[in-house]
Amino acid sequence: MCQMVSPDAPSTVVVTDASGAWRAPAIVAGSYKVTASAVGFLPGSTSSLAVEAGEHKDRVDLALASGGTTVSGTVSDIGGGVIAGARVTMQPISRGARGATDKVIALSGDDGRYQLTLAAGDCAAAVTHDDYTRDRKWFRVTATPLVVDFVLAPGATLRGQVVASDGTAVAGAEVISRAERRGLDSSGRAIADADGKFTLKGIGAGALALTASARGYASKSPTKVTVGVGEQLDDVKVLVDRGFSISGTIVAAATRKGIAGVRVDAYSLSSGIAGTAGPTGADGAFEITGLGRGNYMLSAEGDNAMPAYGKPAEIREQDVTGLVIEMTAGVRLSGHLDHDFRPTVAAAALQPTQMLGHGAIRSGDRHAHARARRDPHLRSSR
């Protein structure tokens, strides 16, 4: 199974054929990593892939090493029935500075069961389905096979329209739902169509705050609604007023050249995360749209550069343009663990870029691993 995971959109999951070949059609342009997983093998991944509009990428191949521990279980609803097609996402938690490695995904079958293989260590798991609220668990993977079951409650469905203060429908707006009270899992995201209409699924019961943003538009205050378990609520109107944008360029500090593949986040000093842009193209340009008036702090993160935090921006009565955020080059460390250590392969994920891609998955070369263990030049010192 191959997964293409984006921080801003649902992951795309495809299943390899008998030869290990895979193909993912009509993927939105962006910057991605491809993660592959199979029962009995440790997950593997590519480095980041940047794909331009209309580009077709061939030979995106991965090799998986055997090993790991089986984690399996059943996804069911609160009434006791099984749930097919639920997305089970496992994210190993590392002790490194960034806190987590890439995600591994499995889909529940017609019997509600899922199965995957993970390296030993702490893990965070989440299960989602369009018709149900999500469930989360944290556990530790050891050498013993582990059973982790999930129970989901029916989710509410909200349908409505994003409209401007003059009554005009706003096409392509991003609609976000959040719980009014802590502890409720009512978060959701949808993109409005050409008529400004949207559908939010799998929303938890309770009081909700809905906001929307688009180029030139932003919610001045949230639209508040209350939904019950599994309830369907129609004709919800989410109002937006004039919105603004923050734009600029991500450059390398040493060369002043644009950096591709960088994600830029704008944090409102009063309400938290407010908007995201990226990944950047080859020129390093970014634009975050649909922001309201206020003070913001910007952060930039990319695979091949050190993160940059704390760039200030203030929106008053017009867009903020021409910001320059400098990033310094990062370093990549590699080595080999000798026979006293158990080698592991980190899982990987895709980030957004438009893309069509395919490749093949194969098992790892055990002889190559053995040669590396015998060669002292390929081993890291203790």
Same domain, 52 and 80: no
- Range scoring the smallest mean pLDDT among 23-32, 67-76, 244-253: 23-32
When divided into structural domains, the chain yields a total of 4
Give the confidence band of 347 by pLDDT, cuts at 50, 70, 90. Answer: very low
pLDDT at 343 over 50: no
- Has residue 23 been placed in a domain? yes
Name residues whose C-beta falls within 8 Å of residue 96's C-beta, 6 or more positions apart in sequence. none
User: Who has greater pLDDT, 154 or 97?
Assistant: 154
CA distance 171 to 215: 10
The string over 191-229, giving b where at least 16 C-beta atoms fall within 10 Å of a residue's C-beta and e elsewhere, is: ebeeebebbbbbbbbbebbbbbbbeebbbeebbebebee
Same domain, 248 and 315: yes
Domain limit, last residue, from 218, 242, 266:
242
- Has residue 336 been placed in a domain? no
Residue 340 is given by DSSP the state T
- Has residue 43 been placed in a domain? yes
- Has residue 382 been placed in a domain? no
What pLDDT is recorded for position 12?
A: 75
CATH number at residue 294: 2.60.40.10
User: Who has greater pLDDT, 181 or 284?
Assistant: 284
Same domain, 198 and 274: no
Domain limit, last residue, from 242, 257, 273:
242
pLDDT tens-place string over residues 250-261: 999 999 999 988
- Give the mean pLDDT of the chain: 81
Share of the chain above pLDDT 90, in %: 52
What pLDDT is recorded for position 300?
A: 95
CA distances to 88, 89, 374 from 107, in Å: 6, 9, 39
Q: Identify the helix (H) or strand (E) that includes residue 368.
A: helix 366-374
Same domain, 249 and 279: yes
Radius of gyration (C-alpha) of the chain in whole angstroms:
22
Strand 156-164 and strand 197-203: pairing? antiparallel
Same domain, 126 and 188: no
pLDDT at 361 over 60: no
- Has residue 198 been placed in a domain? yes
What pLDDT is recorded for position 186?
A: 74
CATH number at residue 232: 2.60.40.1120
Domain limit, last residue, from 135, 152, 169:
152
Same domain, 224 and 290: no
What pLDDT is recorded for position 30?
A: 67
- Has residue 356 been placed in a domain? yes
Same domain, 166 and 237: yes
- Has residue 298 been placed in a domain? yes
Token pair belonging to 285? 């340009």
Look up tokens 């530790």; give the residue.
140
Query: What is the extent of the structural domain holding 350?
Result: 2-65+345-376
pLDDT tens-place string over residues 148-181: 999 999 999 999 999 998 999 999 999 999 988 7
* 92-107 mean pLDDT: 68
Single-letter amino acid code for the residue at 37: S
- Has residue 337 been placed in a domain? no
* 198-221 mean pLDDT: 92
Query: Is pTM beyond 0.75 here?
Result: no
What pLDDT is recorded for position 271?
A: 67
CA distance 118 to 89: 12
Token pair belonging to 96? 């490194």
CB 301 within 8 A of CB 286: no
pLDDT tens-place string over residues 21-33: 878 776 776 667 7
